[in-house]
Amino acid sequence: MKPLVSVCITTYNHAAWVEQAVESILAQRTSFGVEVIVGDDCSADATVEIVRRLAGQHPDRVRLLEAAQNMGMRANYRRTIEAARGKYIAICDGDDYWVDCEKLERQVAELERDAEVGLCYSRSIRFYEGVGEEWQYPRGEMHCDFERLLFENTVDNVTALARRDLVLQYYREVCPEQHPEWLTDDQPMWLWVAARAKVVALERVTAAHRLLKESQSQSQNYLKRIAFCDSLMDISIWIGRSARGAVWRGWSANVWRWRCGCSRAMAPHANI
């Protein structure tokens, strides 16, 4: 039976967490078919062996995409999404997991109810690995209109469900591989979708987002953090211009830098 939802997981050295990610998806209670696609980018640890075992246990639900050589985060992300067969696509990185067994059932209902809805997301729990502290994201209001998402994107990737045709259209038209200055794949994708379809936000926590100290967005290196903030600024300007006309560069820069907490004015004394 063709799945209605494809859940795409990208992995690279995620042996410590990938089983939890896959099992949290298999635990979903749905009235429709769900497939899990794991795209591994030549992990040097036991990630592939773990996913092979899970695929052997669930041959009709779990697929593993291996790579002959390292292709990089962006290419791995795209090929995993392009392998999806479902009408809808959900994302769960190999170090994240879902906490609500009704996540997909509720989100699919929203998109099936209204053909103009292209994206449904929810709140998540975020936490630093090994620290114990956790908090809800977003802390405040969840945005659903494009203009507000453009300057404060409250869509956490691990909570998102979108129409597959929109996501594939994004890749065809935007060609993110031509933007090496973009240091994240999900932010431009969800902004682009929000410019072309309705967005629905569910007021419930459905997933957990694990923050690793040296990821792109959480690096302790100040210059890397600045580069990531600049990347978010570039994304907002590009998507804003392409979707709805010119974006005010100064306002965009100030909002993104405030959001990331890394204004250049802090540089001499920053301890980020």
Query: Which residues 6+ apart lie within 8 Å of 206 measured at CB?
Result: 98, 99, 100, 103, 122, 123, 124, 159
What's the confidence (pLDDT) of residue 57? 99
**Is the same domain home to 198 and 254?**
no
**Is the same domain home to 13 and 117?**
yes
Name the more confident of 10 and 262: 10
What's the confidence (pLDDT) of residue 95? 96
Domain that holds residue 143: 5-212
Tokens of 254: 């100030």
Query: Which residues 6+ apart lie within 8 Å of 1 measured at CB?
Result: 33
**Is the same domain home to 208 and 223?**
no
Whether the predicted pLDDT of 126 surpasses 80 = yes
Q: Which helix (H) or strand (E) holds 115?
A: none
Whether the predicted pLDDT of 124 surpasses 90 = yes
234-243 confidence digits (pLDDT tens): 666 677 767 6
**Is the same domain home to 163 and 245?**
no
Task: Please tell me the total count of domains within the chain.
Answer: 2
Dihedrals phi, psi of 12, to nearest 5 degrees: -155, 105
**Is the same domain home to 195 and 223?**
no
173-202 confidence digits (pLDDT tens): 888 888 877 767 888 889 989 999 999 999
What's the confidence (pLDDT) of residue 266? 37
Percent of the chain predicted with pLDDT > 90: 64
Do 137 and 125 form a contact (C-beta atoms < 8 A)? yes
Cα separation, 101 vs 29, in Å, equals: 6
Which of left, alpha, beta for 37 (phi over 0: left; psi -120 to 50: alpha)? beta
Give the C-alpha distances (Å, rounded to integers) separating 221 from 169, 180, 266, 268. 35, 20, 13, 13
Band (254; pLDDT cuts 50, 70, 90): very low
Which of 172, 190, 212 is the last residue before a domain boundary? Answer: 212
130-170 confidence digits (pLDDT tens): 777 899 999 999 999 888 888 788 999 999 999 999 999 99
Name the more confident of 28 and 256: 28
**Is the same domain home to 244 and 198?**
no
Cα separation, 137 vs 147, in Å, equals: 19
46-68 confidence digits (pLDDT tens): 999 999 999 999 999 999 999 99
Q: Which of 74, 86, 143, 83 is nearest to 112 (CA)?
A: 86
Mean pLDDT of the chain: 86
**Is the same domain home to 178 and 104?**
yes
What's the confidence (pLDDT) of residue 4? 99
Cα separation, 122 vs 205, in Å, equals: 6
Task: Fill in the amino acid letter for 151.
Answer: F
Band (40; pLDDT cuts 50, 70, 90): very high
**Is the same domain home to 135 and 251?**
no
Which of 212, 238, 258 is the last residue before a domain boundary? Answer: 212
3-state secondary structure of 37: strand
Whether the predicted pLDDT of 107 surpasses 90 = yes
Residues shown for the chain? 272
**Is the same domain home to 138 and 64?**
yes
Which of 180, 212, 244 is the last residue before a domain boundary? Answer: 212
What's the confidence (pLDDT) of residue 156? 96
Residue 107 is part of a domain; what is its CATH number? Answer: 3.90.550.10
**Is the same domain home to 47 and 133?**
yes
Tokens of 272: 């980020």
